[in-house]
Amino acid sequence: MQIERISFDKIPQFSNRDRQYQTNPETFSDFIKYMPTEDGLLQAARDRKSFATDRSLLVSVLEEHYKSFKIEDLQKENLLALADENTFTIITAHQPCLFTGPLYYVTKLFSAVNLSKRLNNNNEGFKFVPVFINGSEDHDFEEVASLNIYNKSVSWQTEQTGPVGRMELDGLEKALEDLVSVMGTGETATTIKEKIKACLYTCNNYNDFVFKFVNVFFGYTGILVLTMDDAALKKAFIPIMKKEILEEASLESVQNTQAKIEELLGYKAQAFARPINLFYLSDGNRGRIERDGEEFTITDTNKRFTEEELMAELEAHPESFSPNVVLRPLFQEFILPNVAYVGGGGELAYWMERKQQFEDFGIFFPTLIRRNSLMIISKSQNQILAKVGFKVDEIFALEDDLIRTYLERKSHGELDLSVENEQISKIMNDISEKAEAIDPTLKNAVLAEANKIGKQVEQIESRIRRSLKQQEETQVNQIKTLKSKLFAGNGLQERTDNFFQFYLSMGEKLTEQFESLLDPLEKEFLVLVDE
């Protein structure tokens, strides 16, 4: 397999903010605590020891999660190590996408695994454990209910509402059948199907399914899967939730930071902070908690609480309270002895709005590490690239620009009549000056004719391009096909295509490449070319 490494600033599909953080993180120094480097991470570990973590609670919850599951030896070693004050976590998290959803669901997992491996070579006696958090309390079902494989959509159809992780599995077996029909009946496809079925038939809800699914496919890496929708974890988080409800403690600090980011760097706010950044879960509903005078209401319900009643409910049923996107980072950092969050550019953008909020709550603010990004080019796609004469780093350009470049190369630059047009323009200007010397009223008439001639030359150039495009129709269509498959909707492959699409053809060779290549401290976009 051929490996290409491309600088992030050469990838136009990324936002300006994303590229800037990868290539020049110092510009964000006001909004991060540690530089995204190995030295920064080790310093974070030293500082993290000053922040208390209830390690016994964490270990007991993880042991409870894994008690009915065959845990891998490396996972067990990592779980037990969390009781030691010199062990720290490297977290990544994601919504519970259907059968991993887009490719980056898997690459961010391996980014956390490999970063932990790299840091475990330190000389300070620290151990680092990768943890995957299943962000299961989101209620935007449409975001996680489908996947794209071989340009076909597979969806989970259900009428259920509320937190996705608490949903029953009605309809999920049909989604698996649809996935199997696309994957075919090969040996690898059969293995994937049987593993998913084994998870499906031993689970009570989607939380349980995702937990088992991730462990079955990736547990061998040593990564631990943690579901934060847990009564014991939320009970420990009660003081923070209470402060959020009674003092509306996040709103001002987040908004002030957002305003500062826009003032200094020009970037708009990423997450909308509310006065109370908590939901209340009940009867398939996840409603916002809002203050209404002396009472509190739950949106989309008839529930009302006095302050005393809401605090009593929080104490008695903390599992009914759910942090939103503004408060969720504090929840996971409060529970885990974490030193780094590994996420995509969009995730890190809203994490950068949180530094002051973390300080206000007295919670450790981790190092922000941008996950690896990559693209996989199949053998057939690589052959097309060779036929049309493009290098890997050239295909990130817009489709029209690629086609224009291809045609100009085929014509050896003879398509461009700009030089000839400039020559004609110069001649017409000379004529206008001579005409003006005889009769000043003739100058504008000559320039008008010059403008007409210029447009005629442009039309001739367009006709030449169309003619050559027709002659090269096969190659032009190949370029279009290549772009549509690698950059669906002008976005990156990793945001659309499912992991199993590539695993079916490459098998363990793919995950071996992920294990050997993905290192989020290496700041390049990776392209894996199957030869």
Q: What spatial distance separates the first Cα and last Cα of the chain, rounded to whole Å? A: 6
β-strand pairing of 152-155 with 146-149: antiparallel
More confident call, 455 vs 369: 369
| pLDDT score, position 416 | 66
CA dist., res. 161 & res. 310, Å (int) = 24
Token representation of residue 304: 């009302």
The DSSP output letter for 125 is S
Confidence of residue 267 (pLDDT cuts 50, 70, 90): very high
The predicted-structure confidence for 310-363, as pLDDT tens digits, reads as follows 999 999 999 999 999 999 999 999 999 999 999 999 999 999 999 999 999 999
Sheet strands side by side (includes 224-227): 224-227, 127-134, 87-94, 338-343, 367-370
Q: For residue 68, what pLDDT band results from cuts at 50, 70 and 90?
A: confident
Rounded to whole angstroms, how far apart are CA atoms 66 and 216? 12
Contact 62, 224 (CB under 8 A): yes
Instruction: Determine the length of the chain.
Output: 531
Instruction: Output the pLDDT for position 411.
Output: 74
- Angstrom distance (rounded) from CA 312 to CA 318: 10
Give the model confidence (pLDDT) of 195-225 as tens digits.
999 999 999 899 999 999 999 999 999 999 9
Q: Helix H segments across 268-371?
A: 307-316, 328-335, 345-351, 355-361
* Residue 511 in tokens: 């995950």
**Residue 130: which region, alpha, beta or left (left: phi > 0; alpha: psi -120 to 50)?**
beta
**Least confident segment among 130-134, 236-240, 421-425:** 421-425
Tally Cβ neighbours within 10 Å of residue 336: 25
Quick one: angle between helices 399-410 and 473-486, nearest 10?
Answer: 150
CA distance 225 to 75: 10
**Rg, Å, the chain Cα set:** 28
Window from 159-168, 375-384, 407-416 with minimum mean pLDDT: 407-416
CA distance 433 to 264: 52
**pLDDT (mean) for 423-428:** 86
Distance separating alpha carbons of residues 123 and 137, to the nearest angstrom: 39
pLDDT in tens, 278-305: 999 988 889 999 999 999 999 999 999 9
Pairwise CA distance, residues 80 & 129, whole Å = 10
Percent of the chain with pLDDT over 70: 98
pLDDT (0 to 100) of residue 422: 83
Residue 415 has pLDDT above 90, yes or no: no
User: Can you spell out the DSSP letters for 225-293?
Assistant: EEES--HHHHHHTHHHHHHHHHH-TTHHHHHHHHHHHHHHH-PPP-S---SS-EEEEETTEEEEEEEET
Q: State how far the Cα of 64 lies from the Cα of 339, in Å rounded to an integer.
A: 24
CA separation for the pair 333, 90 (Å, rounded): 11
Q: List the structure tokens of 483.
A: 């772009």
CA distance 514 to 517: 5
Query: Which residue in this structure is represented by tokens 């996947």?
Result: 147
The answer to whether residue 517 scores a pLDDT higher than 90 is yes
Taking 80 as the threshold, does the pLDDT of residue 506 lie above it?
yes
Asked if 128 and 88 count as a contact pair (C-beta separation under 8 A), the reply is yes
Look at residue 26 and give its three-state secondary structure: helix
φ, ψ of residue 280 to 5 degrees: the values are: -120, 130
Rounded Cα gap, residues 71 and 375, in angstroms = 31
- Check pLDDT > 70 for residue 471: no
Domains of the chain: 2-237+324-375+509-519 (3.40.50), 392-491 (no CATH)
Task: Please give the angle made by the CA atoms of 347, 353 and 357, to the nearest 5 degrees.
Answer: 120
Q: What is the mean pLDDT of residues 217-242?
A: 97
pLDDT at position 81 is 98
Q: From CA 161, how far away is CA 278, in angstroms rounded?
A: 18
Query: Which distant-in-sequence residues (6+ apart) come within 8 Å of 479 by Cβ?
Result: 384, 388, 399, 402, 403, 406
Q: From 228, 241, 232, 331, select the one nearest 278 (Cα to Cα).
A: 241
| Summary mean pLDDT of the chain | 93
What percent of the chain shows pLDDT beyond 90?
80
Backbone φ and ψ of 6, nearest 5°: -125, 135
- Longest Cα–Cα distance of the chain, Å, equals 100
Instruction: For residue 226, give Cα distances in angstroms to 79, 119, 289, 332, 351.
Output: 11, 21, 25, 10, 20
The lowest-confidence range among 251-255, 272-276, 456-460, 509-513 is: 456-460
Name which of 410, 418, 421, 416 is nearest 468 in CA terms: 410
User: How many whole angstroms from its chain centre is CA 6?
Assistant: 18
